[in-house]
């Protein structure tokens, strides 16, 4: 197999895959459509299953130095603040799963990965998007949007939910609007009332919407994600500056921890949440998909970045372990597809629960509330998350 690997996309997944591959001795080149690298300011929740990979890649300590380690994950009623469950994190998570649970600014993780890739001499080509590919006998030709072509041994499509690599592999299809939008913003803690935001992964659930808040950068910033069911989305852009007054009005009447945070917010972004059905195929001979290009994750289990990070480690391991590229990539798909599919579908289910979308979901919350009074709801929540957080792909493959 040729040691030359081309990756489409320089996001979290693309950079993580490049770093993992470079550490195995591959010659890696990334082609990114944007003319400059950077991430829109927003937070990520990195659970232990993702941190295991960052540890193996030698960057976990650098990421942790800029992160926040929450005490618990807490789900509460949007008005009364009644607690449905509390899942201990911090030392409990570290001891139980063998790695930390961290809140990280997306830009900090991206920068750390970028620096590590550059130290490994990964070549990064900006303003050059991968448009398509074709097989010719044993050769792989990659076509760029600017009309240029190049040869490589492997192509990895880490180019997001609108992946051109996926379209070339499986045919052009449109991602589906979920009927939900996400407002996102970051606020400096010094602009908030003292100790307004609890040092947790805070989840507020209410009719037709939910609200998440947590600290970043050691507690200097608060990140929020506010998801609203909305069918009137007509914008072509998938993210745009949001109207902060509209956001405040949307969550008017919610708990003071939510409304006071929004009162101090000066700006926000608005994303339409798009989705795709789970795929049955991620590979085509010496081409493979990774991250949102093959399993876009709705943000209701906070596993989008984690799944791309897990993919990256598995992909590099498989390519390094088998000289037959086709077999290696098929093994990668076999390892990753079942887990990512389950998490992708479970994230969808959580949307209905968080938004009290039906009498059944309201009944589930009532049961959680009742169990909470008995001290049992926490155990239910922990058991549900164990299969995600306890997974260690590094240990599994080595």
The neighbour count for residue 379, using CB atoms within 10 Å, is 13
Between CA 207 and CA 211, with CA 189 as vertex, the angle to 5 degrees is: 10
Tokens 């708990």 correspond to what residue? 255
Residues 202, 354: Cα–Cα separation, whole Å: 13
Instruction: Give 35's DSSP letter.
Output: S
Distance, CA of 14 to CA of 129 (rounded, Å): 13
SS3 274: strand
Chain centroid offset of residue 220 CA: 22
Task: Find, among 155, 128, 158, the residue nearest to 14 by Cα.
Answer: 158
CB 36 within 8 A of CB 57: no
**CA gyration radius for the chain?**
21
Kindly list the distances between the CA atom of residue 209 and the CA atoms of 75, 78, 103, 229, 304, in Å, as whole numbers in the listed order: 13, 9, 22, 6, 20
- Rounded Cα distance between 367 and 388, Å, is 23
For residue 1, give both structure tokens.
């197999």
- Catalytic one among 31, 78, 214, 391? 214
Angle among Cα 213, 218, 221 to the nearest 5 degrees reads 45
With contact defined as beta carbons under 8 Å apart, do 185 and 268 qualify? Answer: yes
Q: Which residue, chain included where needed, has tokens 């919610």?
A: 254
Q: Is 214 a catalytic residue?
A: yes
Half-sphere exposure of 283 (CA within 13 A, CB side): 18
Q: What is the dihedral of CA 172, 177, 178, 180, to 10 degrees?
A: 150
Residues facing 28 on adjacent strands: 5
Instruction: List active site positions.
Output: 214
């Amino acid at each position: 197999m040729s040691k030359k690997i081309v990756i489409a996309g320089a996001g979290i997944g693309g950079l993580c895959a490049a770093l993992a591959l470079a550490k195995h001795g591959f010659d890696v080149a990334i082609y990114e459509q944007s003319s400059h690298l950077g991430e829109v300011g927003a937070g990520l929740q990195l659970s232990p299953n993702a941190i295991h990979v960052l540890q193996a890649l030698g960057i976990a300590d650098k990421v942790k130095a800029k992160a926040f380690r929450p005490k618990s994950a807490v789900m509460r009623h949007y008005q009364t603040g009644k607690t449905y469950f509390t899942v201990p994190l911090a030392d409990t998570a570290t001891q139980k799963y063998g790695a930390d649970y961290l809140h990280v600014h997306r830009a900090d993780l991206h920068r750390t990965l970028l620096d590590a890739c550059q130290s490994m001499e990964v070549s990064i080509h900006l303003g050059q998007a991968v448009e398509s590919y074709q097989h010719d006998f044993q050769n792989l030709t990659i076509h760029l949007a600017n009309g240029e072509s190049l040869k490589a041994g492997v192509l990895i499509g880490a180019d997001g939910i609108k992946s051109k690599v996926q379209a070339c592999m499986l045919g052009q299809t449109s991602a589906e609007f979920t009927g939900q939008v996400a407002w996102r913003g970051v606020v400096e803690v010094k602009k908030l009332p003292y100790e307004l935001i609890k040092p947790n992964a805070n989840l507020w659930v209410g009719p037709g919407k939910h609200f998440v808040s947590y600290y970043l950068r050691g507690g200097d910033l608060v990140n929020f994600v506010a998801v609203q069911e909305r069918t009137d989305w007509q914008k072509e852009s998938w993210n745009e500056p949001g109207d902060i007054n509209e956001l405040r009005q949307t969550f008017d009447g919610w708990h003071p921890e939510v409304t006071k945070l929004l009162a101090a917010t000066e700006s926000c972004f608005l994303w339409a949440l798009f989705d795709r059905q789970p795929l049955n195929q991620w590979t085509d001979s010496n081409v493979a998909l990774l991250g949102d290009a093959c399993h876009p994750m709705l943000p209701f289990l906070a596993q989008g970045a984690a799944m791309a990070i897990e993919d990256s480690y598995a992909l590099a391991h498989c390519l390094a372990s088998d000289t037959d590229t086709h077999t290696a990539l098929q093994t990668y798909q076999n390892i990753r597809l079942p887990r990512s599919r389950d998490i992708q579908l479970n994230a969808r289910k959580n949307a209905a629960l968080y938004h009290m979308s039906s009498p059944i979901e309201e009944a589930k919350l009532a049961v959680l509330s009742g169990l909470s009074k008995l001290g049992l709801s926490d155990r239910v929540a922990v058991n549900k998350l164990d299969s995600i957080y306890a997974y260690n792909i590094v240990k599994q493959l080595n």
